[in-house]
Amino acid sequence: MANFTVSMPGEYENILSLEKFISMLSSVSCTNTSIALTFKENGAFLHAQQEWDWVNGGNRTFILVVSTGDCGWNTYRLPFIVDSASFINATNTADLAAVPATWASVAHTCELWVGNMPTPPPSRIVRRDFTETLSLNFEHTLPISSWDFPLKIPNVTLSAECDNCGTHGSFDFAFHFQTVFFVPVGVSLSLTPNGVSASITPELHMEADLLDKVSSPLIPLGTIPIDGISIPGGILDVGPEIVIQAGASIGPITGEATLSAGVEVDLSDSAQVTVGLTSPSFAESGWDPIVKPIPFTIDAEIKGTAELFVQFSNELTLEALGTF
């Protein structure tokens, strides 16, 4: 569930949702400078005229939130800033001087909470623009299946192949964001694995006549973009990715061979990490990986040693209402 609540506590501001009374309207017409609302009945029009005339006194404004498609061209719930209103009695029409705005510019006091849907959901919760899962997909294969290590030593070659290497499962994501007059007062996020594992079974090809041990620098194998979360209107964008690097060392060694070994790393579904951003805090539990070795094989006689490792790191980008 993603729940976004905007408050307008100031004396000269207010907020109104069109969906609360759209059934009373016969037509809605929106431009980049105005919204014209025609009421079906005279009584509803007179009540709106009495209430909305407030905006014409002094430096007052209110936000009118238009639901998806109500203007015909808006693809998500869109806030309009209304600073004056006129009324045409002959047609029961309220003509509002209104300009579309971004949520980042108008939601100065708000709370955004993203997490699992409670069971049963609160009766006030209505499904609107956001229909995506709140899990981050972790089902990905390694971006490249073979690579060479840059040892730069004559008569020494070291390469690897990994045709069935990748990651599995998903992460459940929760996020809380709260501001008062554009000042963040509460920001935190948490991640919980759901069937998360990584399997690496590379084949290492080597040919060398080497008296000493040499090591390769870390080489990038690419990034795995995890399917992120995006709530329309710039409310929330989460764009994580997994960065993968590999390194190796070889020697002393003499001969030519291909060897294969691997490992599967699992995370417990009970693991959790929570990060507080406004009052910096960090809490984690259950992230010790469960390591399952995959049997070692070699196709030749060889004397020496070789090591290969693949390193995964997570990079998370997050932006909420243009603030983080």
Give CA–CA dist 72/69, Å, rounded: 5
What b-and-e string marks burial along 8-22, b requiring 16 or more CB atoms within 10 Å of the CB?
beeeebbebebeeee
Per-residue b or e along 97-132, where b marks 16 or more CB atoms closer than 10 Å to that residue's CB: bbebeebbebbbbbbbebeeeeeeeeeeeeeebbee
Here the tokens at position 11 are 């004396």
Residues (pLDDT < 70) of the chain are 1, 116-134, 155, 210-211, 220-229, 239-242, 251, 259, 261, 277-278, 280, 295-318, 323-324
Q: In the chain, what are the domain boundaries?
A: 2-110, 136-171+193-320
Please write the tens of the pLDDT for every residue from 66-80. 999 999 999 889 999
List the beta strands (DSSP E) in 21-133: 25-30, 34-39, 62-66, 78-88, 93-100, 109-114
pTM above 0.85, yes or no: no
Task: Provide the token pair at 149.
Answer: 């290590």
Collapsed DSSP state (helix, strand, coil) of residue 157: strand
For residue 129, the model assigns a pLDDT of 55
Rounded CA gap, 113 and 187, in Å? Answer: 10
Structure tokens that stand for 154 in this block: 């004559």
Q: How do strand 281-285 and strand 272-276 relate by DSSP bridges?
A: antiparallel
Pairing of strands 15-17, 62-66: parallel
CA distance 156 to 304: 13
Cα distances (angstroms) measured from residue 56 to each of 29, 41, 163, 219: 21, 23, 68, 64
Residue 261: predicted pLDDT? 66
Condensed to tens digits (0 to 9), the pLDDT of residues 135-175 reads 777 787 777 777 777 777 776 777 777 777 778 888 887 88
